[in-house]
Structure 1
Amino acid sequence: MNYNKRSMRTAWAFVSAMLIAGCGGSETDNDSSPQQGPSTPSDNPGASQHKETAALDRYSFANGCYTLEAKGRYLSADPQSGQYSTTGDATQAAAFRMRPTRLGAYLMMSGYQRNTGEVGRFDLLGISDPAGEFLDEAGNFIGEVSYLVAGLGDTTNLVLDPVAPLGDALRSIGESLEFTGDQIGDTTVNPALAMVDAPSDLSVWQLQRLGDQQQYTLASDVTGLMLSAREDGLALVSPSVIDETGAFTLKEAEGCNHYPEAELNAEVLDSQGPATYLTEVDRFRKVKGIDRDDIFGFVDTHSHISAYEFIGGRVNYGAPFHRFGVTHALHDCEAVHGPWGATGFVELATSGIGTHDTQGWPTFNDWPRYNSLQHHQSYYRWMERAHLAGMKILVNHLVHNEILCRINPQKENDCDPMESILLQIQRMYEMQDYIDAQHGGPGEGWFQIVTSPAQARNVIKDGKLAVVLGIEMSKVFKCGEFLGVAECTREQIVERLDQFYQLGVRNIFPVHKFDNAFGGHLPDLSTGIGIGPILYAGNLLETGHPVEFEQCPENVEYTGGEPDQNASLQPFGLFDQLLYQMDYLGERFPETPEEMAALDPRRGTDQLCNRRGLSDLGDFLIEELVRRKMMIETDHISRKAAARILEITRPLDYPVINSHGSWGGTEALRDRIAAQGGITASFGGTREDWVRKLTRDGNRPRHQDLKVGPFGGAGFASDVNGIAQLASNPGTAEDEAGLYPFTSIDGRVRFDVQTTGDREFSLYDGRGVAHYGLYPDQIEDMIRNSDADPEQVDDAINQLFTSAEAYLRMWERIESAPL
């Protein structure tokens, strides 16, 4: 990951401040209020829909093309000399693509040259770093600001006084002798205003409006010095003495290159068309019995967008966004997995594809693919494509496992469970702000974190994606247990629960992979030698005791694990492979799966169920979650504990959730959850298998108040980035030829083959659902190529596209439940 890591205390302060400001709301400046309304998708991401002059604010220039003029002088560019200067001739003015790096901050790109097989060369206004003193390979500033300022030399008009925001620069100008000359051997050492060839912190400019005028200042993000357009060229000056030569007017221009980005390959046919109710005659594109006020679209009930920071980081390569875009977010996994992926032991363990070409953008020769589990698969543009196809709600589960983190030799993040989740929350709000920045200001982006069903409905009706934050981890609230003794108190539970609630979390798994202070976990019973015993050994290390089994209730089918998701991939479960390859218990760990099987406490018996149910602290947690009207997930928890949760919540008419398939335990338990008004969802699949899952989950006996017309509503779980493969696809080249272009279910958007860089991603090239942006294609493939009965396919689509409304009705039922 290409982020400078902050301390977790900083993360907490950062996100708290954002929430106080309204979850990424407008900053305290002289800007006009952001213009409301859905963004128009295009393959120039977030291209600014230019506002009327009177309504311009510093966010309005996002991804637009502009010239800059101050006091009759225009910024000009000379690619041959690699310099920027000024000119009085408007026809010689350089046109800049204004690419946001965050709200109110921009890269100023005057050109971009694509090089096949390489990242490409940018022409950006920035400060050079010829001696490599100030930047790391990812473009992060790692130097000392004072020495940078001192070294700017004759290109900078430095007028320093006690109020100038340069701090130690006064001291360093006298001390920094290494910048007194221009050369050390053949190396130019003086940083200067220049045309730099790659995005970096030294090419980011903060844009601020001057009072009520339509003029703006540009300040270097790192130094705080301000850009000045003078007759003798460009200069950087102290903010305390800036004059009219630093007051810029931005004028719309033509001829800018597009900033490199993943494409949507989606054409909006009717941006004002019906988003909730269908009138098309195509039998696959009409929903019967749906009210016009109902939300039409689907929910992904279980995802891990922020998992690039989990278990210490540097395991899952890539990120859902980066301030410098796709060229940095999905560049080259050698940074984590080593040359040809040879040292990426976690990737080798979980994907089973051996070494691989590490190059990402722009070639993507080997990754992403549906079963490459340590390459990020939910880049924000790919998610936007799914949103355009009808995804209205996304539940992102913040995920962590302390044991895995502590044995991760590459980790760079804190393994403390609370700190890990706080960092991921911070990243999610940064992602929201980044997407807002691409679309013109706070609240303008299509990705909006919500904390109530009413807020979710407003966001969806505004044409945006409602994002719900949840937590799935083995030691939630740091409440593990050792030898039956809880590692937390009731007071600590309340304090930590309140902290996460204030940060926007609304969905909680009480238990995950190991027993904890709240109850027992659901054992992993996937087929294969030694799968369960590895986790049993982990549970022993975490809790000090083995998993204690008992006979399951009779006449109830047990479906622990997720064999339809992973069984055909390799003999180990994916999570177990990870533990095994990391030599979980060192010398004490068996050397072979056969030796490990001897540790299986179920060996020679038919006892399958964890005897630990919900503890007294578990009862207390459920009561506190109900008090706060939070959503309760029952996956990964023992059958006895799940039954106890239903026992507590049923008298309150309080729904609970089974969000990702058979990790919910048994079909009987899932039926009980649906009958109580909860959501049951399964993993996204292929063709008739997906049809079967959707119709099964949507047609469970359902609480009548939560049905959508005649449909129960069945979303799906991607589990993206959660050490779980996405769906494959059995299609052929002939299927591909017949699929594209296709139109979204609501008839509003036409899709073609998704392209990122030089790679066209198809379902039928062996990569299946290689990334999140291919779910629209997979839905269309299910409609056209499933062997299921056409009426069943109709029902499956109806269940899927009523799932967002069903999810909101469940959430509203939770909010109305009596205390």
Structure 2
Amino acid sequence: MASRRSAVGAMAWCLLLSACGSSTTPQDPGSTPARAQQTVYSFANGCYTLGSAAGYVQADTAASDYALTADRAQAARFYFKPTALGSYLLLSAYRRAPGERGDKSLLGIRDPGGEFLDGLGNFIGEVSYLISGVGDITAIVLDPLSTDGNVIRDIGEGVGGVGGGLGGIDVRPSLAMVHRASDLAVWQLEALDSGRFQLRSAVTGQWLAASHGVLALTTKQTPGIATDFRLEAASGCDAYPEASTNAQLLDARGPARYLREVPLFTQGPNASGIRREDVFGFVDGHAHVTAYEFIGGRVNYGDPFHKFGVDAALDDCAVNHGPMGALGLVETVTSGLGPVHETRGWPSYNFWPRNDSLQHHQSYYKWLERAWLGGLRLMVNDFTGNELLCQINPQKQNDCNMEVNWRLQAQRIHQMQDYIDAQNGGPGEGWLRLVDSPAQARSVIAQGKLAMVLGLEVSKLFNCGEFLGQAECSQDQMLERLDAAYAAGVRHIFPVHKFDNGYGGVVPDEGLGIGTILYVGNVVETGHPIEFEACPESYSGAARSPDQVNPLGIVDQLLRQLEYVNGQLSQALPVPPLLPAAEHGLCNLRGLTPLGEALIEALIQKRMFIEVDHSSLKTVDRILEMVEARGYPGVISSHDWLYSEELLDRVVADGGTISRFADSRGAWVDRLLRAEQRPAKNRVAGMVSTGLASDVNGIASLPGNSAPADTPLYPFTSVDGRVRFDRQVTGDRVFGLYDGRGVAHYGLYPDQIADLQRYTDDRSPEQVQQALRALFSSAEAYLRHWEAVEAWGR
């Protein structure tokens, strides 16, 4: 009976994954099939014809137009690509030669004079002008002397300068076949009781209408003019361009959700201690998916999603970095790959993304989906930014006020969740859900989805910097802004980040390696230098050994731009003191301020995570004293910015969890095995877990990989054995782990994990297995940590 049930399940999965239009890559296990009962959402990435009482919509490629036909065999087959929930681009053809961007045929409103669209396809004109230009079907098919006809004629005559010709060139907008995605090609689908649908222009609000052999637009429902259409399933559509996960489901149950489903745990030590509800998978404790909007929004090129698709999201970075990347100073400085770079992305991606090119977006949603299929179960997305760096950045389009900017980032991550829902069949149907409680996170993961938690990592948290020792906000203002962040779903808070602020001192990065640069930034921000003292003996060194990859953080990298300023400022500003290298390093004299203590107390009362990375030793020590006195377990170190193994030990001894930067092979095994030596309270089946810290898009390198290009790896299976992966393809670029770019984008983390499994260097198979257990139990460890935080004081 069980085998028969499995066979039926497998057959069901095969049918779902091969359903017409369910995905641009039918083998993708993350795709969602069309529902039996059609809604405005269920046409996502499907192939359909449009039929009405007046005929079917037909594509006339020669005339670059659409018309009506009575013959269904001649009907255009439209690929419905969602731009948002219930909104679509209708693609009838997509042709692209290798290396070319491609030519689309879309049902839309033509703008030959360029009066209504900007270069990115966004509507910038006046709606009333556009409506008067395209007219109304009633003026065509009804008596020209009728009331309806006169109304439309009056509108058209009342608006000057639109339509007609200009110097013999047609500039009149019209319903037509358009060849690039734009707002004028977006249609909102509206359901009718009869099982039919209306298509309304997202810009003009007019309905698509058919009558007497004419296909046009209308502003009102009129007898004899059909605005209701049948969307009939078809086949043979050209698919809208999209990145692929290049993942094939091997198990009808889908990717594993619990430790008890994976031999790595059931056949390993302490298997008897696994609980039924223990989650399988890893947490990324520190990511910046929305960082494309930080520092003015013109530093990091690319979007994690775009209403017009991947070729708009990841097209050409010249819009930010200038011709040949020559104006991308931040990219040049941080990547170290030369003063210019090839800017073109789609479809060739000859230069970017790559693991060490830090101003090109690396977390496109399909790449995230691939990582989710490879075992990612939880992700903390930190809204990030820096007011000072935004202010000195000459290229910006966003507000530098971080109270404004983090809200913009919050808006974007909700839009991304909705966009993923739209691609998968409607609200709640996507594989990503934002969560604000551990119970909600467990529920989401149990449904086979990725849970995302929100955090704040900004240098002037709640606009509370300090200048000459005076905080720039009051306690009441701080508490009010904290309440707003909590209401928005934020659960992780960094009190300090990169500069001294109203809450405490910052940990000096890299000793004095770039001390001059950080010094200048701190002086500009606070009016005073960082004041150093020798670290105590208990502070025994950096959390990252010199031979390991050293991902540099946001301000470290961007402040390199100030090096040339330093010489000019050195006469006006005091230079950093030339202190001798202390035996245990140099530490910031500043600790937690009274306002900082009030913040920590408020975070405890709200049962939020306190992120201690980036805080000075004195600040961290006082935070830990406060939480230890209260028995509060909510401290976390999410991305290796404590510079002290002893502090990491103290965090986990207090019930906290840690995440660390990934590496390759033996180095990553060693870092994960270090967890077993920690005095952790939070253990999963006797194991001490360590999460992944990607810091993706936070101007930090992803892991490199120097293996020879011909090293065997592909195809490989996920750790749970349920998904087979091949090289990831975006456009014409085939990404492999050994192509010189390492983990070029987030979707290659499964590849890096497979490399760790297959090539152990001189580590034993038992050590590798234990390292994998430490990583793939980290989602459960995080959830237990969060549950302990929520339960505190109750």
Scaled by the length of structure 2, the TM-score of the pair is: 0.91
Partner of 2:589: 611
Which residue is 1:66 aligned to? 48
Secondary structure of 1:471 counterpart: strand
Give, in whole Å, the separation in 2 of the partners of 1:740 and 1:307: 31
- Matched residue, 2:691: 715
- Over the matched positions of the two proteins, sequence identity in percent amounts to 52
Do the aligned partners of 1:155 and 1:193 also contact (CA within 8 Å) in 2?
no
582-591 vs 81-90, which moves further = 582-591
Conserved 8 A contact 1:525-1:560:
no
Query: Do 1:519 and 1:618's aligned partners in 2 also have CA atoms closer than 8 Å?
Result: yes
| Matched residue type, 1:764 | Y
> Counterpart of 2:720 in 1: which secondary structure?
coil
Report deviation, 1:584. 7.9
Match of 2:405 in 1: 420
Q: Secondary structure at the match of 2:633?
A: coil
The one of 791, 801, 811 aligned to 2:776: 801
Partner of 1:116: 98
Instruction: Please say if residues 34 and 44 of structure 2, whose CA atoms lie closer than 8 Å, have aligned partners that are also in contact.
Output: no
Counterpart check, 1:601 vs 2:577: yes
For the Cα contact (< 8 Å) 1:407–1:584, is it kept in 2?
no
CA contact (8 A) 1:145 1:169 kept: no
Cα deviation, residue 267, structure 1: 0.4
- Counterpart in 2 of 1:3? none
The aligned amino acid for 2:541 is Y
| Structure 1: 5+ residue stretches without partners | 1-34, 160-167
Instruction: Say yes or no: does 1:774 pair with 2:748.
Output: yes
DSSP 3-state at the match of 1:178 = coil
Deviation at 1:352, TM superposition (A): 0.9
Q: CA deviation at 1:257?
A: 1.1
8 A contact 2:211–2:225 mirrored in 1: no
Does the 8 Å contact 1:298/1:803 carry over to 2? Answer: yes
Q: Is the 8 A contact 2:390 2:396 kept in 1?
A: yes
Structure 2 partner of 1:532: 515
Please give the per-residue CA displacement for 1:4-55, whole angstroms capped at 9, x wherever unaligned. xxxxxxxxxxxxxxxxxxxxxxxxxxxxxxx9xxx99772577551212xx3
Map of 2:785 onto structure 1:
810
Does 2:429 match 1:429? no
Alpha carbons 2:523, 2:529 under 8 Å: kept: yes
Number of the residue aligned with 1:23: none
Indicate yes or no: 2:436 matched with 1:462: no
Residue of structure 1 aligned with 2:456, choices 454, 471, 477: 471
Residue number in structure 2 paired with 1:654: 632
Identify the residue that residue 725 of structure 2 maps to in structure 1. Answer: 751
Q: Equivalent residues in 2 for 1:340-419 (5 A)? A: 340-354=324-338, 355-419=340-404
Q: Cα–Cα, structure 1 residues 392 and 243, in superposed 2: closer, same or farther, change >3 Å?
A: farther
Partners of 2:177 and 2:127 lie apart in 1 by 20
* Alignment match of 2:532 (pick from 539, 549, 559): 549
Q: Which of 293, 307, 313 does residue 291 from structure 2 map onto?
A: 307
Q: Which residue of 1 aligns with 2:468?
A: 483
Find the residue that maps to 2:306 and give its secondary structure: coil
How far has the Cα of 1:342 moved from its partner?
Answer: 1.0
CA distance in 1, matches of 2:348, 2:486: 42
1:283-322 alignment, distance < 5 Å? 289=271, 290-322=274-306
Alignment of 1:254-273 (within 5 A): 254-272=235-253
Closer/same/farther in 2, CA of residues 587 and 695 from structure 1, 3 Å limit:
closer
Change (3 A) 1:280 1:439: closer
Aligned to 1:26: none
> C-alpha separation between the residues in 1 aligned to 2:635 and 2:269?
25
Whether the 8 Å contact between 2:549 and 2:663 is mirrored in structure 1 is no
Q: How does 1:613-762 map to 2 (within 5 A)?
A: 613-703=591-681, 706-735=682-711, 738-762=712-736
* Residue of 32, 38, 46 corresponding to 1:56: 38
Deviation per CA, 1:458-505, whole angstroms, max 9, x where unpaired? 000101000010010110000111111111111111111111111111
Task: Find the counterpart in structure 2 of residue 792 from structure 1.
Answer: 767
Aligned to 2:161: 178
- The correspondence of residues 316-331 of structure 1 with structure 2, limited to 5 A, is 316-331=300-315
Aligned residue in 2 for 1:25: none
Task: Name the CA distance, whole Å, in 2 between partners of 1:125 and 1:75.
Answer: 10
1:668: Cα distance to partner? Answer: 0.9
Would the aligned equivalents of 1:639 and 1:665 in 2 still touch at CA under 8 Å?
no
Query: How far is 1:149 from its partner?
Result: 1.1
Indicate the residue corresponding to 1:126 in structure 2: 108
2:704 aligns to what SS in structure 1?
coil
Cα gap change, 1:152/1:281 in structure 2, threshold over 3 Å: closer, same or farther? closer
Q: Does 1:151 align with 2:108?
A: no
The alpha-carbon deviation at position 563 of structure 1 amounts to 5.2
- Residues 574-589 of structure 1 aligned to structure 2 (within 5 Å): 575-582=555-562, 588-589=568-569
Q: Secondary structure at the match of 1:681?
A: strand
For 1:353 and 1:243, the matched residues in 2 are separated by 65
Structure 1's 41 and 507: CA in aligned 2 closer, same or farther, altered over 3 A? Answer: farther
> Structure 1 counterpart of 2:721, which letter?
G
Listed as ranges, the gaps of 5+ residues in structure 2 are 1-15, 143-150
| Residues 271/42 of structure 1: CA separation in 2 closer, same or farther (3 Å cut) | farther
Instruction: Determine the C-alpha separation between the residues in 2 that align with 1:369 and 1:281.
Output: 33
Deviations 1:250-281 (A, max 9, x none): 11110111110011100011141543135666
Alpha-carbon separation, structure 2, partners of 1:250 and 1:601? 73
Is the Cα contact below 8 Å between 2:348 and 2:732 reproduced in 1?
yes
Structure 2 CA distance for partners of 1:582 and 1:555, relative to 1, 3 Å: closer
Quote the Cα distance in structure 1 between the aligned partners of 2:444 and 2:136.
Answer: 51
Does the CA contact (< 8 Å) of 1:47 and 1:64 recur in 2? no
Aligned partner letter, 2:381: N
What is the CA distance between 1:697 and its match in structure 2? 2.9
**Contact map agreement 2:553 2:698 (CA 8 A) in 1:** no
Secondary structure of the equivalent of 2:226? helix
Distance in 2, Cα, partners of 1:396 & 1:729:
25
Task: Measure, in 2, the Cα distance between the counterparts of 1:373 and 1:540.
Answer: 26
Residue 662 of structure 1: how far off its partner (Å): 3.4
AA partner of residue 217 (structure 2): L
SS of the equivalent of 1:510 reads coil
Letter of the 2:685 counterpart: G
| Aligned residues: CA RMSD | 2.6
Q: Displacement, 1:176? A: 3.2
The alpha-carbon deviation at position 786 of structure 1 amounts to 2.1
**Aligned to 1:539, what secondary structure does the other structure show?**
helix
Contact 1:311–1:401 (CA under 8 A) maintained in structure 2 = yes
How many Å separate the matches in 1 of 2:119 and 2:97?
Answer: 19
What SS class does the counterpart of residue 524 from structure 2 fall into?
Answer: helix
Q: For the Cα contact (< 8 Å) 1:331–1:361, is it kept in 2?
A: yes
CA distance in 1, matches of 2:696, 2:138: 48
Once residues 702 and 472 of structure 1 are traced to their aligned partners in structure 2, the CA distance between those partners, rounded to angstroms, is: 25
Deviates more, 1:326-335 or 1:171-180: 171-180
Q: Offset at 1:285?
A: 8.8
CA distance in structure 2 between the aligned counterparts of 1:692 and 1:128, rounded to whole angstroms: 60
